[in-house]
Amino acid sequence: MHIHILGICGTFMGSLAQLAKSAGHQVSGCDANVYPPMSTQLEQAGIRLIEGFDPQQLQPAPDLIVVGNALSRGNPCVEYMLDQQLPYISGPQWLGEHILRNKHVLSVAGTHGKTSTSSMLAKILDAAGYNPGFLIGGVPQDFGVSARLSESDYFVVEADEYDSAFFDKRSKFVHYFSNTLIINNLEFDHADIFENLAAIQKQFHHAVRTVPSTGTVIYPSADANIAKVIEMGCWSAQQAFGSASSDWQYRLMAEDGSSFEVIHGSEVAQVNWQQSGLHNVLNGLSAIIAAHQVGVSLEQSAVGLSEFVGVKRRMEVIYQDRGVTVYDDFAHHPTAIKTTLQGLRAKVGQAKIIAVIEPRSATMKLGIHKEILSASVSRADQVYWYQNPGIDWDIDAVANACSVPATATADIDQLLQLVIGAATEESHVVIMSNGGFEGFHGLLTEGLAAR
């Protein structure tokens, strides 16, 4: 079958393309911007890429068009597809029906930590010999690819609450036939498609409703927003974790979370790993619980997690020299910014932390979280806010409200000079953005190396 994918260079759609290719299909696709690293992955997989949306690419017609959720009415390919009545489907629906249907699906949902937790879970299952397939919204450094198809009965999928397509406004995860569902946390996000928290909770409840009675829903016992979702109805086994009364608990063995114990009844196992921060401890705990549902022992999971390297763009060290360490991090929500900086502070002690933040997500651009942004950076020593062209609200007010020294600028060159000047010996620079940040990462590492 010839499958043509509209919007192929996004992480999800590019990963789906590789799965389709591995499944034996002829795959091609297009996007507005065809660029590395996804374009490289796709070309190496033998997938033909077309830049732009000229409808001529749909002649002769493919057997099926998979439409990415970035595409909307008015797009030339979309209009041609509809006018010619060509067969089409959303990416999540295709994934569910053609890849996940006969698998034991372990889905990882939540506002934060989906990519990290999915990667941890895939690593645990792989280390235990399960050889899972997976589709993850990032690149686990343990595997080097964002998606893998295998003969295994098990598949790990990052379960996003974003909508499926312009013609299907349900969240992606309702298509996944989840047997084991992790909900790590739940906050208001994606303000471009959700009116309020209640609207998001409704979608999460739809996901819970799809889990069979033989399946399991895993969630932190202390999250009141998730509790409301469960109260709407849950017909599956439940595994709450984290509280003193939970079946699953953790005990920090190091303040920065680099070593912790997992307690399950009379069983205890210790994880010693490269990660830091309480948020990662909780991510790891939920992954261990999910793996336990399919027969992985606590001890096996602890061994697998201890070997876990990490995920690209999740506190990934991209430069280290002369006492300066630079991290690339995907944090784009106040809670994620806060927990990431807390974890780094616990790890580096009194060393200088410089946070460089681009509020770039759709929710950030709308200014939804601007009132709480300044409080999220209290663990840093110096903060630089970048006002990209998509921000039309007062980012200077956020900088002025910070409890630590903070500066806002709309000039990328000025930002570069400020950060280079501040990055003295024993400094940890965290660049936080869910986008390319106008190449700032490379400019900074080059500038630091040249000085």
CATH code for residues 316-450: 3.90.190.20
The whole-number pLDDT of residue 387 equals 85
Long-range (24+ apart) CB contacts under 8 A made by 219-228 are 219/182, 219/183, 219/184, 219/286, 220/184, 220/185, 220/282, 220/286, 221/245, 221/246, 223/185, 223/186, 225/185, 225/186, 225/187, 225/197, 225/201, 226/183, 226/185, 226/186, 228/201
Quick one: pLDDT at residue 49? 94
Give me the percent of the chain exceeding a pLDDT of 70.
96
Domain spanning 93-306: which CATH class is it, in words?
Answer: alpha beta
- Residue-wise pLDDT tens digits, 405-420: 999 998 999 999 999 9
**How much is the average pLDDT of 232-242?**
95
- The band of 367, judged by pLDDT with boundaries at 50, 70 and 90, is low
183 has pLDDT over 60: yes
Confidence of residue 112 (pLDDT cuts 50, 70, 90): confident
C-alpha torsion 164→165→166→168, nearest 10:
-50
For the chain, which residues make up each domain, given as ranges? Answer: 2-86, 93-306, 316-450
CATH number (3.30.479.10, 3.40.50.800, 3.40.50.720, 1.10.1740.10) of 2-86 reads 3.40.50.720
pLDDT value of position 361: 64
pTM given for the model: 0.84
Structural Rg of the chain based on CA atoms: 22
Q: Is the pLDDT of residue 365 over 60?
A: no
Q: What's the pLDDT score for residue 52?
A: 96
Three-state secondary structure call for residue 106: strand
Q: The tokens of 145 are what? A: 């690819």
According to the model, what pLDDT value does residue 248 have?
A: 95
Answer whether 278's CB lies under 8 Å from 290's CB: no
Strand partners, 183: 109
Rounded Cα distance between 197 and 219, Å, is 18
CA 403 to chain centre: 29
Region 314-320: mean pLDDT is: 87
